Amino acid sequence: MVNQDVINDHIIKPLMLTRIVFGDESRLDTLSREIILVNEVTKSGNINRIIESVTYGDTILLVEGEPQALILNSKSFQLRNITEPASEQILSGPREGFNESILVNLSQIHRRIRSNDLKIKYYTFGRRTNTKACICYIDSLVNKEILDELYRRLDKIDIDGVLDSNYIVEIIKDAKWSPFRTVGMTERPDNVVGNLLEGKVALLVDGSPVAITVPFLFIENFQSKEINIRTKRQRYPAAFLSWVEYKSRNSLKLLIFCTILAMHNMYTRRSASIIFVERCLISQLLSSEWRW
């Protein structure tokens, strides 16, 4: 969780080998400006923030007589490499996907949207876990009413821990008993950027490679994963094929099931009662979720 080289070479060694002469300014300011060789130094007197920083891999420097402490960046995490998401593979387009680091995921979004119109607001969820999260949107395109509604729902979250973005989805989504999705979820940064350019809002959670996008339209169930990189002429066939795939997914399962059952009955002796039960089972499947 911590970088030992940073602590030994850029914090401890300068403090031991440098003769420190304090002037009129604060001793913490002198240490941070002249002695400590760390790229990110902040000063804080909030005990909760100090505890959170220590548990996140930072180093705390305390000086006798000072009411505040220095928070020194010494984080170092073993992260998964950036790879294409297995659940959202495409034939053409970027081969990058999110990983479990919120900073890496944000950098992929920043690399695609190089504008100060991209706004980011950080949140902390979980009384025990203190999980970092952030909201991303383009200020000139976002619907302010949807943004305010998202803030209102997020402010109501009060649980012990958030380990994945699904925790937040279950709390903020509309129509919790609906069989249809009401919140978008993706592991592809290009899809997130495409949604931001449409005026939507993205939510990233530290420790989860899945980004949340709202609002989610019903028609997005039939859109191709390559919808943001295809030309306008290519989008319509891709959307039609996605609709056919969505419609035929369960029908294909039923077709395979019936074929195997018919072949089994052909090569084995089946009693009339068992065949009757099998036909009732097929009828039940056709009249419920298998029928499209």
The residue with greater pLDDT, 204 or 49, is 204
Measured between alpha carbons, how far is residue 46 from residues 52, 54, 131 in Å?
10, 13, 18
The residue with greater pLDDT, 178 or 10, is 10
Inter-residue contact 59 to 75 (CB < 8 Å): no
**pLDDT at residue 136 in the model:** 94
Sheet holding 201-205, edge to edge: 118-125, 131-138, 201-205, 211-214, 184-186
**pLDDT at residue 270 in the model:** 46
Least confidently predicted of 48-57, 63-72, 226-235: 226-235
Tokens representing residue 217 in the block:
């339209």
**pLDDT at residue 286 in the model:** 46
Strand, coil or helix: 182: coil
Q: Is the dihedral of CA 228, 230, 232, 233 positive or negative?
A: negative
Measured between alpha carbons, how far is residue 223 from residues 44, 239, 242 in Å?
48, 5, 6
Measured distance CA(66)–CA(68) in Å, rounded: 5
In DSSP terms, 31 is beta-bridged to: none
Inter-residue contact 183 to 172 (CB < 8 Å): yes
Cα angle 80-118-219, degrees, rounded to a multiple of 5: 80
> Per-residue pLDDT for 264 more than 70?
no
Q: Across 85-89, 150-154, 246-250, which has the greatest mean pLDDT?
A: 150-154
Backbone torsion region of residue 263, taken as left when φ is above 0, otherwise alpha when ψ lies between -120 and 50, otherwise beta: alpha
> Per-residue pLDDT for 257 more than 60?
no
- C-alpha dihedral (46, 52, 53, 57), degrees to nearest 10: 160
Q: Residue 45: CB partners within 8 Å, gap ≥ 6?
A: 67, 68, 69
Measured distance CA(94)–CA(19) in Å, rounded: 52
> Per-residue pLDDT for 271 more than 50?
no
**pLDDT at residue 24 in the model:** 76
Inter-residue contact 33 to 107 (CB < 8 Å): no
Q: Whats the size of the chain, residue-wise?
A: 292
Measured distance CA(221)–CA(224) in Å, rounded: 9
Q: Is the dihedral of CA 139, 121, 206, 71 positive or negative?
A: positive
Sheet holding 59-62, edge to edge: 41-44, 69-72, 59-62
Strand, coil or helix: 44: strand
**pLDDT at residue 155 in the model:** 92
